[in-house]
Chains A and B, each alone.
Chain A
Amino acid sequence: MTTIDNARPADGLRAGDARVTAPPSAGAKKLGGVVGWVDDRLGPAKGVNYLMKKVFPDHWSFMLGEIAMYSMIVCLLTGVFLTFWFVPSAGHTTYDGSYVPLQGVQMSEAYASSLRISFDIKGGLLIRQMHHWAALMFIVALSAHMLRVFFTGAFRKPRELNWVIGCILSMLALIEGFAGYSLPDDLLSGTGLRAAEGFMQSAPVIGSYLAFMVFDGPFPGEAIIPRLFSVHVLLLPAILIGLFTAHIVMVAVQKHTQFPGPGRTNNNVVGFPVMPVYAAKAGGFFFIVFGFLAVVAALVQINAIWVYGPYDPSPVTAGSQPDWYMGFADGALRLLPGWLEFHAFGYTLSLNVAIGALGLIPVMYGAMAAYPFIESWVTGDKREHHLLDRPRNQATRTGLGVAALTFYGVLMFAAANDIMAIKLHMSINDITYFFRAATFVLPVVAFWVTRRICLSLQRADRNLVLHGRETGRIVRTAEGKFFEAHEPLDEYTRWTLVQHDPQEPLQLTTGVDAHGVASPAGGKRNLRARLSRFYFQDNLLPVTPAELAAAHHDGHSTEHLEAIEAAEESYGEETAGITGRP
């Protein structure tokens, strides 16, 4: 049928090729030995068979979560190594290690042991740098993974819970990272803790009590290092591993989502089985991530703690910056104006600090976790979704995502306002004023632009389906007219562009009943209808076969007769092909 004409060129070239079949290798055995012994007692063969045959769909973006997972494992592994030499104590000592500039300097045991790891333990610096790089990579990868999940709608039913778990994981990863880089007790990390203590003090009513509880008295005290240590190596890793395990088990139970394409439906998974393909690919990828981190740790220095010196509350380094993932919170603190601090009745409410330091992260992650439920309420979509959205087909969601990302980006870059001022020779005040305005303006602009781009892409898709691919072949008709011949898409390529569900705004009845009485739920319903219009009103519906037929028909007046016939023939074949299928 149509497959020969429309098939990809490579298929045509190799149409006559035949696969070389290898003879079966000898040595297939029955289950015995140690594995047999275990199976006699626990019977794992049943479950393992099931797992090994599980099919995972292939797409590069599905690796982002894998990178996060492997970076986390590298963190755990290198972290265990570090605990063997790190001394989590603020006790005073005099440095006598091999780093000459600090010899004889008073410092904490935590800092002295971090220096020892960096200079006197063979391979210690490598492990320490791998740990730090892996932590950064972990948060980069999990953020990219979250963006992938968001923009493709993978969070929709039945995966809302896993999205919520992912949000918690992501938030805890930030705190875990902050706890980690605060441990070496160098000047930079101590300054970070100094600010953290200020954050705690800003909590309304309980602030000073909270700070004294956490630091066991006035800042810095000697308790914070051992306490952070136990949070960093015990409490948070335990929660992270628990939630991460639940995350993975849920992926296995619900089966991975897949991108739409020919042969892929909401009721199947098309991909490769774990044994052998995914075992090799995913297992191999672990080694690639691990190896990449080792090479980076060998070549690129990170957090040179010896440069800053021991913590002292009085000096400070200019250009103090947190790790990148804390940048957005730090940026918010730089942008929040001082007038948000209020004094009344002998009490102080320091919202200029509390909003950025205590409120921002929970509110941001809360909004993210709530999004799937909000969207499903607005769209009224309660079905299971296993096929991913192409981001362009969800213009409003994609716009909202980019707007949120822009908001985050503005805050993050605001944390570098001092660096920008120095490097660009600009006034730090102007830069800060710009960022203050940008926090509110740029997300709106980003939303509008992204949404328009998505709608244009929808139109481009529609055009492509209706009029086919440009061939670059210019045809001159007998009357001297010129036109470029378009070639209809093959059915596989076309399917990806037309497979999505038509989405239209919810049609809700008015909130007034037959007797003219307004329903008490009317306001809520109106809001929902308005939001639904906001989501879908400009969306293009997927091209239908009738429209495609019409497009071919329409083209007749402008094109050459032969081209018409060719188009009609392929149209006939296509429709025959389509109707011929059940």
Chain B
Amino acid sequence: MSSHQSEHETTVVRLDDGHHIGDGGIPEQFVNPGLPPHVERLSDLSDMGAKRAERQVAGLFGLSILGTLLFLVAYFAVGTHDRSFVPGLGKIATSNLLLGIGLGLGLLGIGLGAVHWAKTLMPDAEVVEERHPMRSSDETRQGFVDVMRGGGESSQLFRRPLIKATLGGALGLFSLPLLVQLVGSLGPLPRKQLSQTMWNGTPAHDGTYEPYANGFPRLMRDPENLPIKASDVTIGSVYHVLPEGLLPDPETGEGGLEHGVLEEKGKAAVLLMRLDPSQFQDTDGGRKAQAWGHEGIVAYSKICTHVGCPVGLYEQTTHHLLCPCHQSTFDVTDDCKVIFGPAKRPLPQLKITVDGEGYLVAAQPFHEAVGPSFWERG
């Protein structure tokens, strides 16, 4: 208290003068007061408290044993297909419920017991460990340099530029064979496979399509695989369509592709809709759409031009197609132009007509690649 007065007079500053750093009368900064006094726990102070903690820990370990037993009993006593009603969860698999609860209790009991033990009975006085700078001492660093340089010198690496250069070259190149093998053999080149579909022809094994000999294929309903009569397509209806020859005959089970069903479906899938001809917009796109259709029936690729999800949602009143993955929206009345969302290009239209029996057929293949964009699609 003796120094109180002098400090008071020499160092008190006004706070509205801004930040103030002391002039030596009072330390410039506060000093770390050290660890606060330790507070003993109940279990340190009384035998009774410790005993209680012991019982709690033992109880949790006991719960674990019960949980494990529950699992074992449930495993052998409950069948895989048993269902039971649990309030709040509904009808659920009994086996999954009991096995999970049993396993969970078996594990939680051990975990909670161990943590409770650590918190109540194990020492709770904090321990201080010193840190040292991460950096090695200067001598050690110099030693490292000496060892490495010494190695370089004694192996004559620095004096033999020929070895240095060739070793560098060899090490730089040795991974090339592995890289070439991997990149070269992982998959075939795309060639024209992304630009053609089964509407071009029958798929051959090498990924090309053999053009159809007598006209383009009929439009078949997916999954029934039945041809579609133009007169059956009413306004507002939407058909999922695949080219004829992709799926087997529904009655005989014969025909259809033996290989690559999913691959062809992934490119050739088409949506078929009928609009009242007056609903097409009076734009270039709308007129072309109508011309490529048949009496208001139009067919468009079902594969989204964004990243290839099937454009699965059709709004009958507005004639909008919506892709459920990223919400690109296409306007069927305007040649499936993108009116919203991340896609840029309209869905490609499949030009259709009717054959002699009144069934819908393709008039030509898609005239551009279907599905997501890629560099060389043009």
Please report A residues at the B interface, Cβ cutoff 8 Å: 3, 7-8, 10-11, 14, 17-20, 54-55, 58, 98, 119-123, 125-126, 129-130, 158, 191, 194-195, 197-199, 201-209, 211-221, 223, 253-255, 262-273, 276-277, 280-281, 283-295, 297-299, 301, 311-320, 330, 333-341, 343, 346-350, 352-353, 357, 384, 386, 417-418, 428-429, 432, 466, 491-492, 494-495, 498-499, 541-547, 549-551, 553-554, 572, 575-576, 578-579, 581
| Cβ of B30 under 8 Å from chain A | yes
Q: Does B106 contact A (CB under 8 A)?
A: yes
The residue from A126, A221, A262, A550 contacting B13, defined by CB atoms under 8 A apart: A550
- The residue from B92, B263, B302, B344 contacting A350, defined by CB atoms under 8 A apart: B344
Contact B374 A346 (CB under 8 A): no
Number of inter-chain CB pairs below 8 Å: 419
Number of interface residues of B (CB under 8 A): 123
Bound Cα distance A32, B189 (Å)? 66
Contact segment of B1-9, B168-176, B226-234 = B1-9
**Cross-interface CB contact of B133 among A201, A314, A384, cutoff 8 Å:** A384
CB proximity of A569 to chain B, nearest CB, Å:
9
A299 touches B100 (CB 8 A): yes
CB neighbours of A498 from chain B (8 A): 29-30
Q: Cα distance A288–B110 when bound, in Å? A: 8
Roughly how many angstroms separate A575 CA and B3 CA in the complex, as a whole number? Answer: 9
Q: Say yes or no for B336: interface residue by CB 8 A criterion.
A: no
Is A333 within 8 A of B342, CB to CB?
yes
Interface centre among A216, A295, A314 (most CB of B within 10 A): A314
Query: Cβ of B122: which chain A residues have Cβ within 8 Å of it?
Result: 276-277, 280
What residues of A have a CB within 8 angstroms of the CB of B214 in the complex?
none
With known contacts A216-B187, A299-B100, A353-B307, A544–B20 Cβ distance under 8 A: yes
A263 touches B13 (CB 8 A): no
Taking A195-B308, A195-B325, A357-B307 as given, write out 18 further A-B residue pairs in contact, using a Cβ cutoff of 8 Å, ordered by the A residue number: A14-B40, A54-B129, A55-B127, A122-B95, A195-B309, A207-B375, A212-B189, A217-B263, A268-B129, A269-B131, A284-B115, A313-B303, A353-B372, A499-B32, A545-B26, A546-B26, A549-B8, A550-B14
Which residues of the partner chain A approach B113 to less than 8 Å between Cβ atoms?
284
Q: List the A side residues contacting B279 at CB < 8 Å.
A: none
Which single member of A19, A223, A295 contacts B101 (CB below 8 Å)?
A295
Cβ contact of A554, chosen from B15, B110, B306, cutoff 8 A: B15
Taken residue by residue from 29 to 46, chain B's Cβ proximity to chain A (1 for < 8 Å, 0 otherwise) reads as 111111111011000111
Contact indicator B376/A546 (Cβ below 8 Å): no
- The answer, yes or no, to whether B207 is at the interface (CB within 8 Å) is yes
Q: 1/0 per position for B344-378, CB-CB distance to A under 8 A?
A: 11000000000000000000000000011111111
Identify which of A220, A269, A283, A313 contacts B269 (C-beta below 8 A). Answer: A313
- Which chain A residues border B345 with CB–CB below 8 Å? 341
Residue of B nearest to A74 (CB): B107
Residues of A near B374 (CB, < 8 A) are 201-202, 207-208, 211, 348, 350
